């Protein structure tokens, strides 16, 4: 005697499967965050950004540093996001000041002379995200580079300050948009 079990097995309703598929897709689609190759995760509600001019309030003022820092931050945001730059106040806005621009002896050689000096730049940044206030911050970012003390700061200043500004801008961008 042969038993046929196929009559006793119920097939899932095709309509129910389609409904579940549509509901699942709708739930996933409602959770939108935009991503970029830079690792930035920016809410689609954020459409614009602004960068106010960073004043140099360090004890030692280097002409051009404020403009270089401000321009570097604008360029980074333009290159790494799809946000539109505006001169007013954007959905995401940066403002701040340069608080330190200094060089100090770092290591001492056997003859009690400095072997290396440390060149430091510190920037205080206030970031406001009007669409998500939890992402706002007010923080200082500092980076440095060491150089041989036999060199005068003026000999290495341009190269080192460019490198330090790059690192600081990267830190600011990551804090604002990569949420580290």
Pair 143, 164: CB distance under 8 Å: yes
- Can you give the pLDDT at residue 169? 98
C-alpha–C-alpha distance, residues 78 and 90, integer Å? 13
**Residue labelled with tokens 């400095």:** 114
Residue 69, pLDDT score: 98
Q: Point out the least confidently predicted range of 51-55, 109-113, 172-176.
A: 109-113
User: How many CA atoms are closer than 13 Å to the CA of 158, on its beta-carbon side?
Assistant: 2
In this prediction, what percent of the chain has a pLDDT beyond 70?
Answer: 75
DSSP of the chain: ----GGGTSPPPPHHHHHHHHHHHHHHHHHS--EE-TT--EE-TT--EEEE---EE-SSSPPTTHHHHHHHHHHHHHHHH--PEE-SS--SEEEEEEEEEEEEEEEEE-TTSSEEEEEEEEEEEEEEEETT-GGG-EEEEEEEEEEEETTS-HHHHHHHHHHHHHHHHHHHHHIIIII--
For the chain, the average pLDDT equals: 83
- Rounded average pLDDT over 146-159: 91
Task: Give the rounded distance of the alpha carbon of 87 from its chain centre.
Answer: 19
At the topology level, CATH places domain 11-178 in: Double Stranded RNA Binding Domain (3.30.160)
pLDDT at residue 93 greater than cutoff 60:
yes
Indicate whether 123 pLDDT > 80.
Answer: yes
Residue of 88 and 3 predicted with greater confidence: 88
Delimit the domains of the chain by residue range: 11-178
pTM: 0.75
pLDDT at residue 2 is higher than 50: no
Q: How far is residue 14's CA from residue 23's CA, in Å, rounded to a whole number?
A: 14
For residue 89, pLDDT over 70 is answered with: yes
Instruction: Give the C-alpha separation, 69 to 74, whole Å.
Output: 9
Comparing 18 with 58, the larger pLDDT belongs to: 58
Q: Please give the pLDDT value at position 32.
A: 39
The C-alpha angle with vertex 134 and arms to 40 and 67, in degrees rounded to 5, equals: 60
pLDDT band for 26, please (50, 70, 90 cuts): very low
**pLDDT band, residue 18 (cuts 50/70/90):** low
């Amino acid at each position: 005697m042969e038993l046929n079990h196929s009559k006793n097995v119920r097939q899932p309703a095709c309509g129910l499967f389609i409904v579940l598929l549509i509901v699942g897709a709708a739930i996933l689609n409602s959770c939108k965050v935009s991503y970029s190759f830079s690792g930035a995760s920016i809410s689609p509600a954020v459409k614009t950004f602004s960068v106010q001019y960073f004043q140099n309030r360090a004890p030692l003022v280097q002409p051009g540093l404020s403009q270089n820092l401000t321009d570097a931050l604008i360029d980074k945001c333009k290159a790494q996001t799809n946000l539109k730059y505006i001169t007013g106040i954007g959905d995401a806005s940066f403002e701040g000041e340069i608080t330190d621009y200094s060089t100090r002896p770092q290591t001492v050689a056997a003859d009690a002379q400095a072997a290396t000096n440390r060149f430091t730049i510190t920037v205080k940044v206030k970031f406001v995200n009007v669409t998500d206030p939890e992402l706002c911050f007010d923080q200082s970012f500092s980076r440095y580079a060491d150089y041989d003390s036999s060199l005068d700061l003026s000999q290495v200043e341009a190269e080192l300050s460019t490198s330090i500004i790059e690192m600081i801008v990267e830190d600011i961008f990551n804090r604002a948009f990569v949420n580290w």
